[in-house]
Amino acid sequence: MADEKRASTDSSKAGANHTEVHDGARQAAAERGHAATDQFGQSLVQFDPKAEARLCRKLDLYIVPTVSLLYLFCFIDRANIGNAKIAGLEKDLGMKGYDYNILLSIFYISYILFEIPSNVMCKWVGPGWFIPAISLAFGIVSLCTAFVHTFPQAAGVRFVLGIFEAGMMPGIAYYLSRWYRRAELTFRLSLYIVMAPMAGAFGGLLASGILTLDSVGSIKGWRMIFAVEGIITIGLSIIAFFTLTDRPETARWLTQEEKDLAISRLKSERVATTEVLDRMDTKKLLKGITSPVTMSTAFMFLLNNITVQGLAFFAPTIVRTIYPDRSTITQQLYTVPPYVVGGFFTLALPLLSWRLDTRQIIIIMTAPLVIVGYSMFLGSTNPSVRYGATFLLSSSIFAVGPLSNSQVSANVVSDTARSSAIGLNVMMGNVGGLISTWSYLPWDGPNYHIGNGLNLAACCTTLLVATAALFWMKWDNKRREGLSVEEELAGMSREEIQDLDWKHPGFRWKP
């Protein structure tokens, strides 16, 4: 402990270098009641880079594959309705006019309503149990979609699907924040969010393959898509109950030294934090929701999801307007290549963010190509030009998912605030998803000027908001540098200091 005190003294002297401490101090930092930073937010502990790299490789191997597969089929179960639409769903259910848009909207109503409650429940129950449970539930609901025969039945199933899928994206983001440091988190989030564009590609291939079958049991046509994909989701969910570990302390596949390292690494980035997993607290929940960075990022994610979800639901329809004379299976296959490009950039941009330890600038970088893509849609009716534009759209829009969730996670302190911040971000994103369901209207086809114009406006607004937020963070960090930490914290108890969260004078925004 003497080393920790000496490090605290050094760090309080005008930003001296961090002092390396021995394993005993690191273990103390991993225990409850011990902070791993001084009052200025500077780490009291340094870590062996090789030991950290070994730990990260182990975390990547044990955690990321399971959550990635679950999210892949989460997104497939949500977006496969677009594949079913061009395979005869509307005709069989007697849908007309705006019925398809209504069917998409109903999903988002329940999704939005249950977003924050689901993430709070995820923290309370524990993500190791909660994530597999909701995955199992929406797999069952997806399977049930194969047996609907009327529009009201389909609407009811979609509403229930939204309830269970609401906790998936924010739950996994929150779960990964229990294991990875700020700079590492963005890329790990991308490893599962990349499943969104991959779901577009793989979902199109899978739907094409399924539709070549005569039947699955007594199920035929578009119903086979929901039946087969729902069964796969159920199987993966059952496996996840055995493979997901709730938190570092309960990980049987980590040694005690690795557990201490995992906990200390997280605490070393969180000013005034004495425990990584704090108790549920209303004040901290509100801190996560009311953070200026959370609110601005959530608004950007709303705008982004108008584009992302619109592309997911209407890509098959858009491709059909570009190549109306091709077969249904060929049209399904045309949706695959743009999503492959999207998957590449969904990994590449967060990887760049990880190396630079920045997110806001990368979010700004995602807008220009999308703006060009929608400008091409609006300015040309040439099939080759419009199909080329879909590649520009998918190149950037999916990367905002991991970047935005990582950004709100990096700019709060407590675990409780992190759960509500991520919940708000994803909730607002799905408000954008709800808007997207009305962006491509039947009478606006085949060129969809309203839908493409709305998406162009959303991308331009994202660029402006992201740039303004970046300058505000830099300005507020300079303002905080002029504060006296000792004077601001004078007379406060340890609990009161921890409740400050991002209002702590030693806290700095991380662009």
Whether residue 423 is predicted with pLDDT greater than 70 in this model: the reply is yes
> What residue ranges define each of the domains in the chain, with the CATH number in brackets?
63-251+280-480 (1.20.1250.20)
The answer, as to whether pTM is greater than 0.75, is no
Whether residue 415 is predicted with pLDDT greater than 50 in this model: the reply is yes
Extract the tokens encoding 158: 């979609």
Beta bridge partners of 37: 43
Instruction: Write the DSSP string, 193-242.
Output: HTHHHHHHHHHHHHHHHHHTSS-BTTB-TTHHHHHHHHHHHHHHHHHHHH
Residue type, 49: P
Which residue is it, tokens 């025969």? 149
Average pLDDT over residues 297-301: 94
Extract the tokens encoding 173: 């983001």
Extract the tokens encoding 71: 């999210």
CA distances (Å), 394 to each of 101, 143, 340, 370, 398, in order? 22, 29, 9, 8, 7
Maximum distance among all Cα pairs of the chain, rounded to whole angstroms: 77
- What's the pLDDT at 24? 52
Confidence category of residue 16, pLDDT binned at 50, 70, 90:
very low
Instruction: Write the DSSP string, 118-129.
Output: HHHHHHHH-HHH
Distance in angstroms (rounded) separating the CA atoms of residues 95 and 89:
8
CB 167 within 8 A of CB 67: no
- What's the pLDDT at 99? 87
CB 290 within 8 A of CB 282: no
Whether residue 113 is predicted with pLDDT greater than 50 in this model: the reply is yes
CB 301 within 8 A of CB 432: yes
Whether residue 141 is predicted with pLDDT greater than 50 in this model: the reply is yes
CB 257 within 8 A of CB 394: no
- What's the pLDDT at 270? 64
Least confident of 25-39, 224-238, 437-451: 25-39
Distance in angstroms (rounded) separating the CA atoms of residues 508 and 511:
9
- What's the pLDDT at 5? 38
Least confident of 198-207, 284-293, 344-353: 198-207
- The conformational region for residue 33 under phi > 0 = left, psi -120 to 50 = alpha, else beta, is left
Confidence category of residue 402, pLDDT binned at 50, 70, 90:
confident
- What's the pLDDT at 19? 38
B/e letters for 422-443, b = 16+ CB within 10 Å, e = fewer, are: bbbbbbbbbbbbbbbbbbbeee
User: How confident is the model over 150-183, as pLDDT tens digits?
Assistant: 999 999 999 999 899 888 888 888 898 888 887 8
Choose between 309 and 17: higher pLDDT.
309
Choose between 409 and 322: higher pLDDT.
409
Whether residue 22 is predicted with pLDDT greater than 50 in this model: the reply is no
Least confident of 33-42, 71-80, 157-166, 471-480: 33-42
Averaging pLDDT over each range in 28-37, 41-50, 82-91, which range is the top one?
82-91
Confidence category of residue 8, pLDDT binned at 50, 70, 90:
very low
Q: Of the candidates 309, 322, 63, which has an alpha carbon nearest to the alpha carbon of residue 185? A: 63
Distance in angstroms (rounded) separating the CA atoms of residues 219 and 186:
41
